[in-house]
Amino acid sequence: MKELYIFDFDGTLIDSYRDSIKYFNITLKQFNLPTFDMELEGLDYQVFREFLHKQVEGFEDEFMDAFTINYKDSPQHNTFLYDGVLEVLKRLQKEGITLAICSNRDEDNLKQMVDEFFVGVEFAYVSGEIKGLPNKPDPYRLNRIIMDAGIAKDKVLYFGDKTADIDAAKASGIDMVLVSYGQGNSLAYNDSYPLKIIDTVYEILDFLSY
């Protein structure tokens, strides 16, 4: 039985891309850059990430600092937990599973959102972006969580929605489950590494017997 479940955040536990793109566009306007105006419904999030990278290439750190300020100090009216997230996480807690988050979101903002949205859920580790430390797909922060937890890698299960999550799990040498309800794309869905692709949060509970 797995003992440590590590979750990606955006696109795995929480649906946040509409607000994220909104505040990215606000920040792009501040830098007098073109905004992203494609239809958001059914959007391949990688298309947006490639657009953004092209616009801010060469001053990514400055741009992301401004975005983080805009985002964390503003209301997120279109950010929601995926159906069943709290119920499933509380069940995992009850079963004795250690819970953790590993996200590329700014760590201060990540912890703020965890406190706001996950009342009654105890995450043993909440790891977000910290300047100077590598982000996923580098496995550094996944490995740090596992090392701090003192749990063998064959007792760890990681859940994510993007290619970066697959690559991070692969590089760390841990089992991984891909969710299809997040911000992934066909490249991720056709990767052979994940143990399984799941379509709902409730299917996470199926792995209690894994």
- Note whether 147 and 49 are same-domain residues: no
pLDDT at 104: 95
With 0-12 / 13-18 / 19 or more C-beta atoms within 10 angstroms meaning exposed / middle / buried, residue 32 is: exposed
**Inter-CA distances, 173 with 27, 140, 158, Å:** 37, 12, 11
Q: What is the pLDDT of residues 149-166, one digit of tens each?
A: 999 999 999 999 999 999
Partner residues linked to 176 by β-bridges:
158
Number of structural domains (the chain) is 2
- Note whether 67 and 105 are same-domain residues: no
- Note whether 39 and 92 are same-domain residues: no
- Note whether 9 and 33 are same-domain residues: no
- Note whether 29 and 60 are same-domain residues: yes
* CA distance linking residue 35 with residue 52, whole number of Å: 9
- Note whether 126 and 192 are same-domain residues: yes
Cα angle 10-16-18, degrees, rounded to a multiple of 5: 140
pLDDT at 210: 84
**Domain region containing 174:** 4-15+80-209
- Note whether 182 and 94 are same-domain residues: yes
Domain finish residue from 52, 72, 92: 72
Which stretches of the chain score pLDDT less than 50?
Answer: none
Q: What is the pLDDT of residues 4-26, one digit of tens each?
A: 999 999 999 999 988 999 999 99
pLDDT at 183: 85
* CA distance linking residue 117 with residue 145, whole number of Å: 22
175 phi and psi angles, rounded to 5 deg: -70, 150
Which run of H or of E encompasses 93? helix 85-94
CA 52 to chain centre: 18
State the pairing for strand pair 156-160/196-198: unpaired
Query: 83: Cβ–Cβ under 8 A, 6 or more apart, which residues?
Result: 200, 201
Contact 99, 124 (CB under 8 A): yes
* CA distance linking residue 15 with residue 47, whole number of Å: 17
- Note whether 186 and 134 are same-domain residues: yes
pTM of the entire predicted model: 0.93
pLDDT at 181: 93
pLDDT at 135: 95
* CA distance linking residue 50 with residue 53, whole number of Å: 5
Look up the CATH number of the domain holding residue 119: 3.40.50.1000
pLDDT at 112: 93
